[in-house]
Structure 1
């Protein structure tokens, strides 16, 4: 996963379709880093009738997708659909075994992982009424609580104290001051003190007393405050923030990367690469409409930014907007006539529109650029058959 993110963030053309490590048709594409996605030579051919060995980094990617969905408000039905789509290739037992390994990885990491912790807690709360999935939710909840408890004298707790401490302290604020030194302590207060939960939610401007959601909001607001850029920041500061975003993305922490690039763009909205990278991260999270908006921002600054045009086409293709995708790739080819990825992907979109003659011309162009381009060779064989 890290290599894929590094490729995207260095402006190597992104994939057309949403990344799915269980999609056999696309496996070769993701493994060899080429610009096509219709190979049938994947290395992980599997049976659809039994559990398979799935790589830990693929499970991590899928789990992060799940947690992102939970953060966006997924409820029981949507979570059940997520797991049903992966079953029987990935069983509950597979998830539980991986979560134990992932727990060790998280606890060994110096990073706080507060966002993951909060979302794991929300997952545990939502799955409490789902008997089949409850073991996964219970273990995720346990890991999330463990992560929140492991740091004392947490600056986020201090920030919450300052927000909830008016001149006239109540028992609620006194309890926070006396007993809370970690986000785990705050979680316990939210669970056991309805008044504390209600007032905290009101202070944060949210309409739920769900402890996991409140913790997520505390983390989000405190991190934004800590990342706040001072007046008249230097270009060096902006570049540091941009590079911090790259580092976050390369470790798979896309939400944090986006937050850092937001800080960059709040100071310098003309930072083309920040718009491009933000769009790529959103596309990687399958938030294609938002990604397109970001690529549009980059193109508005630099109309010849062919990488943003290309990734815009990729996102449109993922939404099934094939004709619009072709228009974007035509813009790429107007700037870079031999851009292989655009030719190949234009061929795929032309096939979707049943423009077979156009598709053949695109694949033949790919082969004229790279006579070893096997994906185009296979596409031509497929069409002729």
Structure 2
């Protein structure tokens, strides 16, 4: 999933429909770089009909949900929708493997860890799902504990100490021995006053340790970026790459925040507009995505990747004729762009333009004779 998302954000167009990792016919399982290739991803291990990359994608969706306030009922619905195809046993088996992957990675995964802590806290009252939550909590704690001399801890310590009015040494004493975010988490869990003061300083209305930890990571990471009044090109590129790093871990909200910083300085950073639009589309925020693609196209009218993604977003809104216009712009620049031809065929079907759809699918097969989706579409039309 990480490799796929990274490639997609850089250039590859987003899928028309919301990605369903349990649908083997979904185009996200194909290479859509417009070169006619249609090779299915084979780099991940499979659990029956469920791939590790699919489980990773779903887990990131779950963690994004708990970070946005999902409670017990919503989490139960998430798992029930996937049952019986994905059982608790499958989740536990995959989480153990994913744990090894995370611990071997040099990236800190702080947001990921904080959200796993929240998941563990929320599922503590759900007997059936508690094993998943407990294991996620354990992995999250392990990730928070593995870094010593943590710059985020130092930033938090300075921040709390700076604004303490009555007893300037109190919070500093509490965090003096903390050298990892795991130590800070323990303080939040075991010292209600510390949790209350920290939440107040961060401006959030909760003393939940996991939610506080999420906010700590979010704010201190942003504060640690060296952003001058007139940022150098290197600084802007660093911010852009930090957005890519967030996207690679599935944290698209944070990725968008970094690209927003880039665009606040350089409104003509085309790739930031494109990536922002792609991330918004992936989050089903299609109107916002279209605005970002429009900005990228205004800078470079021949940016066919943005035209293509714009068509995808319009299709998702049911604006099929407008989507076709966008894909025609793609094909004017790249006549053999497979994804545009296929999706134009889908939109033509929606408009009952069957003959136009057939032409599109036949064109796909002339580009790639093994394009299964187009072959299936033609079979569907002819039966």
Shorter-chain TM-score: what band? 0.7 to 0.9
1:217-236 alignment to 2 at 5 Å? 217-236=215-234
Deviates more, 1:15-24 or 1:164-173: 164-173
TM normalised by structure 2 equals 0.86
Contact 1:343–1:365 (8 Å) recurs in 2: yes
Contact 2:8–2:14 (8 Å) recurs in 1: yes
1:97-121, CA deviations, whole angstroms, 9 ceiling, x for partnerless residues?
2112222222232221110111011
1:57 matched residue in structure 2: 53
For 1:336 and 1:378, how far apart are their aligned partners in 2? 24
1:351 aligns with 2:341: no
The correspondence for 1:90, drawn from 81, 86, 91, is 86
Local SS of the residue matching 2:100: helix
1:47 matched residue in structure 2: none
2:292 matched residue in structure 1: 294
For 2:368 and 2:139, how far apart are their aligned partners in 1? 49
1:49-107, CA deviations, whole angstroms, 9 ceiling, x for partnerless residues?
xx835332221121111111111222222211211121111100111121122222222
1:15 matched residue in structure 2: 15
Q: CA distance change for structure 1 residues 154 and 95 in 2, over 3 Å: closer, same or farther?
A: same
For 2:253 and 2:106, how far apart are their aligned partners in 1? 18
1:230-309 alignment to 2 at 5 Å? 230-246=228-244, 249-250=247-248, 254-255=252-253, 257-309=255-307
For 2:235 and 2:159, how far apart are their aligned partners in 1? 28
Local SS of the residue matching 1:25: coil
Local SS of the residue matching 1:164: helix
Q: CA distance change for structure 1 residues 349 and 148 in 2, over 3 Å: closer, same or farther?
A: same
1:320-331 alignment to 2 at 5 Å? 320-331=318-329
1:132 aligns with 2:128: yes
1:173-220, CA deviations, whole angstroms, 9 ceiling, x for partnerless residues?
144234433222222222222222222212111122211111111101
Count of aligned pairs between the two proteins = 373
Q: Could you tell me how far 1:163 is from its partner in structure 2? A: 1.9
C-alpha root-mean-square deviation of aligned residues, in Å?
2.9
Contact 1:25–1:42 (8 Å) recurs in 2: no
2:361 matched residue in structure 1: 363
For 1:190 and 1:250, how far apart are their aligned partners in 2? 29
Q: CA distance change for structure 1 residues 131 and 172 in 2, over 3 Å: closer, same or farther?
A: farther
1:188-207 alignment to 2 at 5 Å? 188-207=186-205
Q: Which runs of 5+ in 2 are unaligned?
A: none
The correspondence for 2:152, drawn from 117, 131, 156, is 156
Return the structure number with greater relative CO, CA threshold 8 A, min gap 6: 2
1:99-148, CA deviations, whole angstroms, 9 ceiling, x for partnerless residues?
12222222232221110111011111221222211111111112212222
Q: Could you tell me how far 1:243 is from its partner in structure 2? A: 4.0
The correspondence for 1:378, drawn from 376, 379, 382, is 376
Q: Could you tell me how far 1:34 is from its partner in structure 2? A: 4.2
For 1:181 and 1:338, how far apart are their aligned partners in 2? 55
TM normalised by structure 1 equals 0.85
Q: Which runs of 5+ in 1 are unaligned?
A: 45-50
